[in-house]
Structure 1
Amino acid sequence: MLPVTEPHRPRWSVVVPVHDCAGYLALALPEVVAQLGGRSDVEVVVVDDASSDDPAAVVDRLGAGRVTYVRLPVNLGAIRTFNRCLLLARGELVHLLHGDDEVLPGFYAAMEQALAAEPSAVAAVCRAEDVTADGTPTHTTRSYRHGTGVWTDALDSLALSNRVRAPAIVVRRSAYEAVGGFDTALPHAADWEMWARLAAHGPVVFVDEVLARYRRHAASDTSARVRSGANVRERVTATEAVLAHLPAPRRDGLRRRAMAYAAVFAGRTALQLARTGRWRAAAVQSREALRCLVVLPRGGRARPA
């Protein structure tokens, strides 16, 4: 359980975990400062997980005197760093913005407005675009409702797949305090399990606008796991952790759909890799797709995302 220790909190905490991505931080930080730098009820904190590059210099150059820099003495890894970020965040609204992702103009205003309109909501989620290392858009996440409002089937949707890009969610600090930190036993799916845990705890608002950018690049942990197939294997493991947040009568049907979707996901990834000539990684993803079909509970059918 996260401690409740701050009686007079800022409205916003934007906490930016970084590790060896100072170049991308230089792209992300100016937009955060542009949107929030003029407010007195905001804190922006860059948390450096013992990088070998120099994010401190980026903060000095682009932080406009509004950004705090914290360097961890030893490398904790991604999930433990995320939990350290939550402990450092004092604001009522917490945005955990990975250092290689970005927000688009209007992000903070739209998310704050959405949460103000739904006082019982634990979090707000917007649409996002996936981009390459150089910022070229490759995909835009779908709308889960028309117009901004409560995402009524958020938990069922999250039982099938991680529908939320990390830079596209803002969480009330009180909700993080209630549900606890990220699960370190899921080093590559802790965010997915966290979003499901939050959706089980209370309503989630969906903001039907593309307001964040999620970067996929060769140096990212995500890309390394795609090459080894670990992304799909942990997806299967994480499915059970996510399903645990649903009532028992709904689990079996959703489990079948989740495993079928995992197979579809791996197959699509294999096709995308093959189209760009990454044959070895494509073969790995194809193998993982077949494994998902082998363990698919009887009666399961693939269902499009």
Structure 2
Amino acid sequence: MATITESLQIASKHHRANDLTKAEQVYRQILEKQPNHPEALYGLGILSQQVGKFQNAEQLLNALLQIQPNSVKGWFSLGNLHQAQSQLPAAVEAYQQAIALQTDSAPLYNNLGYTLQLQGKWEEAVACYQKALELQPNCTEAEANLGNALHAQGKLSCQQQAQYAALNNQLGRSRQQAKDLKNAVACYRTAIALQPDFLDAYYNLGVALQEQGDLEEALVSYQKVLELNPDNGEIYLKLGKIYQDQKKLSEAISAYQQGLKLINPHYLKAFVADAGTEKAEEVPITPELPQEEVIVRNYKFPKIPAVAASEKKRPFWSVVIPAYKRTDYLLECLASVLAQWTGEEEMEILVMDNASTPPLFDLVNAIGRGIVSYYRNSQNIGLAGNHNTGIILSRGQWIHILHDDDYVLPGFYSQLKESLENCSDSVGAAFTGFDNINEKGVFLSKGDIFYWYGENRGIIQNWLLQIGVTNPLRPSAIVIRRQTYEKIGGYCSELSDLNGWELCKRIATFYDCWYEPKILACYRLDTSLYAQKMSNELFATGNHAVFLRRAIEITESYLPADLCTEITTNARSYNFEYLLENRVIFPLMSGNMTGALRILQEALKIDRSPEAVAKLFAWLTKDEAAPLRNEIAAKLLAIPQENIPDNIPIELKSPQTAIAP
């Protein structure tokens, strides 16, 4: 572990990026070394409250206050914790303790006022809000709360109600951006109570409720928006997402169609024009394509031929959407692209159905007819094979592989095109910021790229040195120049879920990469029980560790000579620790000692340096490693005695004694 100060900086960075798992891990590492470290106690306490572990959060904050009884932020956070649990008298006491230590804090007076308001103590609450505004005149929360308290007492004019409604709506957006959906919803409801025809507040309320998973309530809000504005295309797209989540595909299709027609005139023109044409009854089959190879220094990869000469103008974008069986998210994925489609000369969209049964043809055509090209493989050719087939069939200058459960946000293609259409030929790929979401579309965290690359757009410096060690990128956020594929080949089928990382390393060896830090894509982490089972099986068998080792070995075959040793050494060290700290736990949790031992075996194949072996022995002393430790001991004791030589000659010598001459 790094120094305590460095570790705290790392934990805080993960915490700010909402990567709570990594943040918690580092906070706990600090507390293992220094159990009374105040900043680690505070950080872990706040994090525990965020994830709903209120009792643990209270213990940590109280431990902090035992060490630092004059910690204003400790008392403030404890007050917030009590308020969140409706422990209002305890919250008041904690806020008052904080105010006694710091009398000029507007947020303290505001939160105390709100807690008093929840107890019906209106006059005391109003006094607190007024004090907060005296200390900080631009304190939006205090001003909104003051208006709400006065409204509850019937003390606002109609004009003032509209003013405070706008303020609550503004505050709601602020809380929503901070992923505080509970308070965002409360703000929007207050805004609507103050101004019942407030269209923007209804829209924002629907979005927040949908993010929370309250789909029926979100539908009510969206329907109210449509009553006030029937031509709001975005609302139809939101309705399509809700119907999709509810497995009401017919309603989802209708809503997506209507929304796309309203927001995208190019889509409307193409969709209406195609409506009068006769449709082919047969499902289109993927044509037979040559299976050739390209050699990149010392390794062979699938070849991507150049685009055949044609009078037809090549589009800037080819969006390739691989799909197999799943219908849960495909409509949303397609709609996110179709909303940004500006004509066939600008973008082609290909759906690559990997032999789904039944075919996905009708579902794709339902919202993509006349625009989307659908191909169905006669048999399943694997994920990498399906990717490569889509790339070969594409004609665009830049290719975006967008998995059917992910989607892009407004501006993804226009923002990237603005940067890429005049960029140097040295740029072979580009990527944007992205959010991780769960199977319900709820935000989980920002992508790790902000940790690695910061927030400055442009060509990444020393990209190969980073991507050669680990991959923070996700497919939904990456676009690759077609000429890049033509030179270095497509996806390697040998590596399963790690073929994307290997491809990025290959690109970084020969090309620069452009970075757009704005969040323009969403990557879905399916946390359902089925997805967890499949993921656990991949890790429990040790197969993921095998793919990881092979990805490092294959890359070593083409890395530049002057950087090969440095990158490979760092990659082996980093991924050895990754397997040890993050992956052995999966088979251990299920009692699968064979899988756990295989991961350790692969980890040692990745890095067998003295430092790695020492880390392994240190890790085996941990409590969670006890079952594996016992298994290793049992295997050693079970080695047959006859396999151990017992005839090793041992020369016994008596101590030499000096003899007088």
TM-score normalised by structure 1 residue count: 0.86
Q: Please say if residues 545 and 599 of structure 2, whose CA atoms lie closer than 8 Å, have aligned partners that are also in contact.
A: yes
CA distance in 2, matches of 1:273, 1:135: 25
Highest relative contact order (Cα 8 Å, sep 6+), 1 or 2?
A: 1
SS in 2 for 1:187: helix
SS at structure 2 position matched to 1:163: coil
> 1: CA distance between counterparts of 2:335 and 2:395?
22
Whether the 8 Å CA contact 2:541–2:598 is kept in 1: the answer is no
Q: Is the 8 A contact 2:509 2:560 kept in 1?
A: no
Does residue 68 of structure 1 match 2:392? no
State the match for 2:324 in structure 1.
19
Tell me the alpha carbon deviations over residues 85-112 of structure 1, each in whole angstroms, 9 at most, x when there is no partner.
Answer: 1111111111111112221222112221
1:141 maps to 2:451 = no
Residue from 418, 423, 436 that aligns with 1:130: 436
Superposed CA RMSD: 2.9
Q: 1:105 to 1:46 in 2, by over 3 A?
A: same
User: Distance in 1 between the 2:408 and 2:320 partners?
Assistant: 13
Match of 1:158, as an amino acid? I
Equivalent positions of 1:38-117 (< 5 A) are 38=343, 40-63=345-368, 65-117=370-422
Show the counterpart of 1:280. Answer: 590
Q: CA deviation at 1:273?
A: 6.2
**Alignment CA distance shift 1:37-1:56 (3 Å):** farther
1:227, CA displacement in angstroms? 3.9
1:25–1:282 Cα change, 3 Å: farther
Counterpart check, 1:292 vs 2:603: yes
Q: Is the 8 A contact 1:13 1:90 kept in 2?
A: yes
Taking a change above 3 Å as real, the CA distance of residues 38 and 86 of structure 1, as seen in their structure-2 partners, is closer
Residue matched to 1:261? 574
Distance in 2, matches of 1:249 and 1:132, equals 41
Distance, in Å, in 2 between the alignment partners of 1:100 and 1:12 is 20
Distance, in Å, in 2 between the alignment partners of 1:156 and 1:282 is 35
Instruction: Please identify, of 176-185 and 41-50, the stretch whose mean Cα deviation from structure 2 is larger.
Output: 176-185
2:507 is matched with 198
Q: 1:2 aligns with which of 304, 312, 329?
A: 304
User: Hey, which bits of structure 1, 4+ residues long, moved more than 6 A?
Assistant: 271-274
Query: For residues 599 and 489 of structure 2, what CA distance do their matches in structure 1 show?
Result: 32
- Residue number in structure 2 paired with 1:243: 556
Does residue 207 of structure 1 match 2:519?
A: no
* Range 178-187 or range 80-89, more displaced: 178-187
SS in 1 for 2:405: coil
Of 165, 171, 185, 2:480 maps to 171
The amino acid of 1:280's aligned partner reads S
User: Greater CA radius of gyration, 1 or 2?
Assistant: 2
Distance change (3 Å), C-alpha of 1:17 and 1:6: farther
| Secondary structure of the structure 1 residue equivalent to 2:441 | coil
**Displacement, 1:234?**
0.8
Query: Aligned with 2:461: secondary structure?
Result: coil
Distance change >3 Å, CA 75–CA 29, structure 1 → 2: same
C-alpha displacement of 1:15? 0.9
Aligned to 1:232: 545
Question: How big is each residue's C-alpha offset from its partner over 1:58-99, in whole Å with a ceiling of 9 and x where there is no partner?
Answer: 212222531111111111111111110111111111111111
Using the alignment, how far apart are the partners of 2:596 and 2:363 within structure 1? 37
Aligned partners of 2:370, 2:536: CA distance in 1, in Å? Answer: 34
CA 1:222–1:104 in structure 2 vs 1: closer, same or farther (change >3 Å)?
A: farther
> Is the deviation greater in 27-36 or in 236-245?
236-245
Q: Give structure 2 stretches of 5+ with no counterpart.
A: 1-302, 616-661
* Residue 335 of structure 2 is aligned to residue 33 of structure 1: no
Shift of 1:298: 2.8
Q: Is the 8 A contact 1:269 1:285 kept in 2?
A: no
What is the alpha-carbon distance in structure 2 between the residues aligned to residue 299 and residue 150 of structure 1? 37
Please identify, of 63-72 and 94-103, the stretch whose mean Cα deviation from structure 2 is larger: 63-72
Change in 2 beyond 3 A, CA 1:272/1:33 = farther
For the structure 1 residues 166 and 215, does the alpha-carbon distance in structure 2 shift closer, same or farther, using more than 3 Å as the test? same
The alignment partner of 2:493 has SS state of coil
Which SS does the other structure have where 1:253 is aligned? helix
1:243: how far off?
A: 2.9
Distance 1:37 1:214, change over 3 A: same
Q: Deviations over 1:211-270 (max 9, x none)?
A: 222223344975642343322221111112123332233222322321222133334534
Asked whether the equivalents of residues 539 and 586 of structure 2 are also in contact (C-alpha less than 8 Å), the reply is no
Q: Equivalents in 2 of 1:181, 1:61: separation in Å?
A: 31
Preserved contact between residue 549 and residue 605 of structure 2 (Cα < 8 Å): no
- Please state how far the C-alpha of 1:290 moved relative to its aligned partner: 7.4
Give, in whole Å, the separation in 1 of the partners of 2:356 and 2:420.
Answer: 34
Is 1:33–1:64's contact at 8 Å kept on the other side of the alignment? no
Q: Which has the higher strand share?
A: 1
Structure-2-length-normalised TM-score: 0.42
